[in-house]
Structure 1
Amino acid sequence: MTNPNTYSEAVRQSLQDPESFWLSAAEAVDWYVKPSRALSHEGTSSGTWFPDGTLNTCVNALDRHVAAGHGDRTALVYDSAMVPTQRTYSYRELLDEVSRFAGVLSGQDVVTGDRVVIYMPMIPETVIAMLACARIGAVHSVVFGGFAAEELAKRIDDAEPVALVTASGGLEPTRRVEYLPIVSEALRLSERAPKAVIAKRREGFTAAPDQGWLDWDAAIADALPADPVPVRATDPLYILYTSGTTDKPKGVVRDNGGHAVAMTWSMRNIYGIGPGEVMWAASDVGWVVGHSYIVYAPLLVGATTLLYEGKPTGTPDAGAFWRVAADHHVNALFTAPTALRAIRKEDPDAALAADHDLTGLRAVFVAGERLDPSTYEWTTTALGLPVIDHWWQTETGWAISANPWGMDGMPVKPGSSSVPMPGYDVQVVNESGEPVGPGVEGSIVIGLPLPPGTLAGLWRGEDRFQRSYLAAFPGKYSTGDSGYLDEDGYLFVLGRSDDVINVAGHRLSTGRMEAVVSAHPAVAECAVIGIADQLKGQRPSGYVVLKADATVAPEKLRAEVVQLVRDRIGAVAAFRDLTVVDALPKTRSGKILRKVMRHITAGEEYTVPSTIDDSGVLVGLHERLSPDLAQ
């Protein structure tokens, strides 16, 4: 077998001979029973991975490193800007904590296959609880702490957990969020409340646990360590509910075997991180990035992972991002374009980055939203480092397209999410499902089977899985995004398919327009949405947040941006509306709420999602747009 040590060879082998490619990758994982085959098509539309293998994910993340003599290596660094405090855990210390909390769960009759809901902030106990579930073969479902009681109750009812793990509350720069009253209300609303609730007490919170709840510290002090339980590779590791659901939550299921193989492969080949090196994914464990690259992937390869509590960007300290990276000698940083735009807004000259020693940092990886060329150029100049855009989804669990930085990194193309990763047969198709040529925009789909580590299905929702992902283009997974592949095979993701608007019969991408608008030197971030137009059917409308040092007058800015769009896209875009706003509405994971903005501009009723970063932004935006609605 040819060793797939170059990108082109890896892609070729992964698509033409997935058996040998992924069995070779599986050699990096420790198995109780090694798989004899990689892929099975039995009983599923999208395939299952390593069907006859057995392993334990916690053993791969912790035990094997201790057994190999690396117990003193730092596994986890906890840095809280809110308390403030810092704490490090060696692999041996983390294994001890995880084993004992696994014993707590076992003592509450949690067994292999049972579900455990985790509703916790960014503290070490969250990571410990997740790994403890994996240790005994329980299926964890982490619910982001920004969700209100009703949304938490929906997820409890869907997952039917045996136990729920929580904490007193979460800390944010301007407030403390009391979790215990939310959990109490969620349990009251739930029809399938768990019998056991375990709460970690934190100082500074006023609400007390309900009667009958277990205290984390007391329970773990008396617990006997639990041994790991072998599970099948196809058994579920976790359920992660996608955000913004309006009816029954959609729980993405991740398996154990494919996940361990994919996470290990991606850490080494995409991020270039190995044993003893430091990875900082500046996200939240409640989101997929936190699952993949705060908790599991770094530990699977014996690296150090950084858990940061707080918002490391924006006022009053736009330099916190760089300070954290310098203090902990971060080698690879994973963040969202939103964070970089927030820093640029407050520190347009990047003076704060120059104040910190970032010599250990080798590259910055971004995902979550498209990295516009101007933010890419600013960050590259500010840091003097490669800035790598890559694209993936909650459903995929790791990058669909990226730059194989740990393999034989490829040239960076601003505006592109780089190239398809091994195992992903990425295609761009028209409405009939036929492939389109280079540079032609269409729907981005992935040929089946999906590679290891991607969703194994939806929790108790096979029919919904079919409808949501496979029905639109039979034989292919529909990403729901639009974009194009260029002549060199680089993928340009322009936005959700429903962000394509029809202007006088011309289908145009608002994502492409955003790339042009954000190129203006005064613009920190922007959103372009389609609004109703009596003559053209729809027309694009842009909303921009200016950099802190911007001095351009609104009318001059509008004229310059309109000309930019005309020059780069053409008069066909019919772009003429531009509104300056103080902020754009976002989820707490940094995604701009374009759908809600469309409702506002249409004069429709809208509900503020429970994950909104600041509902006041929506109110202010609604008031700002009201004059436009009357025109």
Structure 2
Amino acid sequence: MLACARLGAIHSVVFGGFASAELAKRIEDCQPMVVLASSCGIEGMTKVIAYKPLLDKALEMCVHKPRKVVLLQRPQLLATLAPSEETWQDAVEGIAEDRVFHGYETVDANDPLYILYTSGTTGMPKGVVRPSGGHAVVLHYTINSMYACRPGQVYWAASDLGWILGHSYICYGPLLNGSTSVLYEGKVVGTPDPSAYYRVMAQHKVTTFFTAPTALMMLRQEDLHGEFRNQYDLSHVKAMFIAGERCPPEIHRWWVRHVTGVDDTGKALHPIQSPVTNVISDNWWQTETGSPLTGIEVGLSEDGAQLPPVKYGSAGLPVQGVDLRILRIRDEEEEDEDVAAVVCPPEEVARGVVGNVVVKLPLPPGVMSTLWNDEQRFFDEYFKRFPGYYDTGDTGVIDADGYVHILSRADDVINVAAHRLSTSAIEEVVAEHNEIAESCVVARPHPIKGSVPVVVAVCKNHGRDRSEEQIREDLVAAVRARVGAFASLYKENIVFVERLPKTRSSKVLRKMIRSMIAALISKSASSELIPLPATIEDPSVKDEIWAALSAWAMSNL
């Protein structure tokens, strides 16, 4: 990545979990001159994934052929190379000293630094193009102001370089700031045990730590009472940040209690103490933006009294330069082409009302400049629906105190008897049950109410105090009390599974579950009709979920 930037070349990093067909789409779209790969990936303590066969099959599917394929041979699994290919080791050793590039290429600030692909609603990935100059400016600013990491200190984003977090805050952000960046290959648990996060933070004296809510849920499942956490001193950690998807307040409170010992049970706010240390805050951003849109800018002061408190359930406050608004969600009948042709100015909603999260133009520095080779799609996907605004594709609310609450993707809003309900509102309640490790909520059609929620839940590993039927009764009662009876959660729509389908960056694949339920409702008999998501971490979980939902459907559909 750094060498490409120095050369003025554009890089496009793809994480190792993609199937050949998805890898081929990206190669065909960006048409690279060189493909760099490794022979394998390492999953946990025992699993090794062969990358070369995936790459070979992808290249066979492509019309475009790169000039060169260079492969890093990892000792865990050596790959067989074609005559036209070479190993990284041979390529480096074969470079004569006088051919080594010593200078750097000057480029314009708006020239592309990289292309990073993100999922598209049409099934074709979107190649987000990042301008180099603005990106450098905003990363240098946020690594200090938001993440409170100074030059010489240590920053650890527990992510993959193939995702935006890895680009912004493993590679470029810390190095622009003169900070040490930790690169970690391993899982939250199982490498070799649930102490991995704590051990790395303690061993490398990490100042700022960044992870995803799902990772915290995994830790809560495996280390509920701090058996592994308590082995390490984390007092040197100034701030910890959560992002990737919405963090349920109960998970956030547990992590605060787990790390700091402060019990905020039942509290909405967590004041930041002086001196500023062990602050644990949510923040929100996207591949398209490249840096946070909201959060608590912990690095702006060493005096906790000068900083706004952390509010559980929120993603913080808008960052400087981000004019964030909430617009009214249009009804389905307003979205058809005939009505869309009528000029309908975006309508801002009052505070406390759920709507579409948008950013009023102009956008802050570092946001994507276009989609690679698809300017029309760039406009259609992000700017057409709400003229004058960038459409984030998320739903949320700004509360009376100005805090932003990101609830779900726009397609994760359930319409129950004319009531718009974000799936995260129910997930938040479910997460508070003592027996539940994690869950996701999707919709199923209902003949009278339009749709009703289905809860797909994973129980904790400890011995259960209540039966599954009792847990169902508890959850129904809790949702009625906390969300309202209109949410229409019924016992028969609570399904227990061993694990949820996730991406390698730990996001739950809700769309796959929605597709399975739709297929079962339409009496489709085979899971083969459900496409395997390109980003799925473990393909075998698809069959597990299909079996559980099929058993549920036989009794309830």
For this structure pair, what is the TM-score category when the shorter chain's length is used for normalisation? 0.7 to 0.9
Shift of residue 388 of structure 1? 0.7
- Which of the numbers 402, 410, 413 marks the counterpart of 2:295? 402
- Which of the numbers 606, 615, 619 marks the counterpart of 2:530? 606
Shift of residue 168 of structure 1? 1.2
Shift of residue 410 of structure 1? 1.9
Quote the Cα distance in structure 2 between the aligned partners of 1:553 and 1:142: 46
Mark the CA change 1:591 to 1:574 in structure 2 (over 3 Å): closer, same or farther. Answer: same
Q: Could you say what secondary structure the match of 1:300 adopts?
A: helix
Question: What RMSD in Å do the two structures reach over aligned CA positions?
Answer: 1.5
Shift of residue 626 of structure 1? 1.4
- Which of the numbers 532, 544, 551 marks the counterpart of 2:465? 551
Q: Is the 8 A contact 1:429 1:443 kept in 2?
A: yes
Q: Could you say what secondary structure the match of 1:203 adopts?
A: coil
- Which of the numbers 407, 432, 455 marks the counterpart of 2:368? 455
- Which of the numbers 253, 261, 282 marks the counterpart of 2:129? 253
- Residue in structure 2 matched with residue 147 of structure 1 by the alignment: 18
1:216 maps to 2:88: yes
- Residue in structure 2 matched with residue 373 of structure 1 by the alignment: 249
**Number of equivalent positions:** 502
Residues 38-60 of structure 1, C-alpha deviations (whole Å, 9 max, x = no match):
xxxxxxxxxxxxxxxxxxxxxxx
Q: Could you say what secondary structure the match of 2:358 adopts?
A: strand
- Which of the numbers 394, 398, 401 marks the counterpart of 1:481? 394
1:393 maps to 2:307: no
- Residue in structure 2 matched with residue 111 of structure 1 by the alignment: none
- Residue in structure 2 matched with residue 540 of structure 1 by the alignment: 453
Quote the Cα distance in structure 2 between the aligned partners of 1:391 and 1:255: 20
Residues 570-597 of structure 1, C-alpha deviations (whole Å, 9 max, x = no match):
1111112222211111111111111110
Quote the Cα distance in structure 2 between the aligned partners of 1:480 and 1:244: 11
- Which of the numbers 135, 142, 160 marks the counterpart of 1:284? 160
Letter in 2 for 1:422: Q
Quote the Cα distance in structure 2 between the aligned partners of 1:239 and 1:450: 19
Quote the Cα distance in structure 2 between the aligned partners of 1:493 and 1:158: 32
Quote the Cα distance in structure 1 between the aligned partners of 2:32 and 2:544: 40
- Which of the numbers 322, 345, 352 marks the counterpart of 1:424? 322
Quote the Cα distance in structure 2 between the aligned partners of 1:519 and 1:474: 40
Q: Percentage identity across aligned positions?
A: 45
Letter in 2 for 1:136: L
Mark the CA change 1:262 to 1:181 in structure 2 (over 3 Å): closer, same or farther. Answer: same
**Gap regions ≥5 residues in structure 1:** 1-129
Quote the Cα distance in structure 2 between the aligned partners of 1:246 and 1:471: 16
Q: Could you say what secondary structure the match of 1:623 adopts?
A: helix
Quote the Cα distance in structure 2 between the aligned partners of 1:246 and 1:308: 33
Letter in 2 for 1:588: R
- Which of the numbers 198, 203, 206 marks the counterpart of 1:330? 206
Quote the Cα distance in structure 2 between the aligned partners of 1:628 and 1:262: 48
Quote the Cα distance in structure 2 between the aligned partners of 1:569 and 1:347: 29
Q: Could you say what secondary structure the match of 2:215 adopts?
A: helix
Shift of residue 316 of structure 1? 5.7
Q: Could you say what secondary structure the match of 1:483 adopts?
A: strand
Quote the Cα distance in structure 2 between the aligned partners of 1:350 and 1:389: 22
- Residue in structure 2 matched with residue 227 of structure 1 by the alignment: 103
Quote the Cα distance in structure 2 between the aligned partners of 1:340 and 1:525: 10
The aligned runs of 1:14-413 (5 Å cut-off) are 130-173=1-44, 174-221=46-93, 222-223=95-96, 224-243=100-119, 247-313=123-189, 317-384=193-260, 385-408=278-301, 409-413=307-311
- Residue in structure 1 matched with residue 478 of structure 2 by the alignment: 564
**Gap regions ≥5 residues in structure 2:** 261-277, 302-306, 331-345
Quote the Cα distance in structure 2 between the aligned partners of 1:247 and 1:503: 28
Shift of residue 359 of structure 1? 2.0
Quote the Cα distance in structure 2 between the aligned partners of 1:623 and 1:149: 26
Letter in 1 for 2:294: S
Quote the Cα distance in structure 2 between the aligned partners of 1:540 and 1:390: 27
Structure 1 segments (4+ residues) deviating >3 Å:
243-248
- Residue in structure 1 matched with residue 413 of structure 2 by the alignment: 500
Q: Is the 8 A contact 1:200 1:217 kept in 2?
A: yes
TM-score where L is the length of structure 1: 0.78
Shift of residue 333 of structure 1? 0.7
